[in-house]
Amino acid sequence: MATEVTVPVLGESITEATLGEWLKQPGEAVAADEPIASLETDKVALEVPAPQAGVMGAHQVAVGDTVEVGAVIGTIEAGSGAAAQSAPKAAAAPATAETKAEESDASITLSPSVRRLVLEHGVDPSQINGTGKDGRLTKADVEQYVKSGAQQAQTPLAEKGTAKGAQAPLASTSSGNRNEERVRMTRLRQTVARRLKEAQDTAALLTTFNDVDMTAVIETRSKYKELFAKKHGVKLGFMG
């Protein structure tokens, strides 16, 4: 029997939220009161707990969709979930073995700066003689190899990866540029940005000037400043 997962009460004056993330995927085991989804509102972000233990069913709402209080976002099927989890684990085993095999093939350890140079110039690090500790490559080794022109006689790494059917590595940007990534704003950040824009649009941004003819004031001060200083021991200013 399936149990529906609904959006809980979000708080006073909050009637809707945005589904930020699914913490449990279909087929995964779920314990009672375990968080299965994350909701974002204009004020806070909160997690949706599982109403009962079982197996996570189908998702009724996608990430980024707007949901109202009481809306059904998914279901939880009855069961322990042991059988459902065994298949994903078995499927993940070959992938783990493949990853370990790839890691074992990478016999050359490169520092981040050296790796960046290798990617920028498209050279094969196995063709460069390292002069660092334990035979490791240094930036000077790569720069010297590039200047010598020896990399012209070999196939670039990007072409090798394409010939083998593997995906070509992403082109790295120059050191003077920054990588940009567009991320969807949360409802909380959207509300903050909207309030700041409203404050900027409604605030009174102005400057006032008052013109005053000070001729008579200056003449009066010049006439009485010496007498005032002798009588009171202080100078006569414009404010006085």
pTM above threshold 0.85: no
**pLDDT score of 97:** 42
In this structure, is residue 29 part of a structural domain?
Answer: yes
Task: Return the higher-pLDDT residue of 172 and 199.
Answer: 199
The number of folded domains in the chain is 2
Order of all β-strands in the sheet with 72-77: 2-6, 72-77, 54-59, 29-30
Residues 77 and 2 sit within 8 Å (Cβ to Cβ):
yes
Range of the domain at 16: 2-83
CA distance 22 to 132: 46
Domain end among 66, 83, 100:
83
pLDDT digits (tens, 9 = 90+) for 72-91: 999 999 876 544 444 444 44
**pLDDT score of 176:** 57
pLDDT at 94 exceeding the cut of 70: no
pLDDT at 158 exceeding the cut of 50: no
Average pLDDT of the chain? 76
pLDDT digits (tens, 9 = 90+) for 96-118: 444 443 443 344 666 666 777 77
How does residue 155 score in pLDDT terms, banded at 50, 70 and 90? very low
In this structure, is residue 98 part of a structural domain?
Answer: no
Q: What CATH number should be reported for the domain holding residue 128?
A: 4.10.320.10
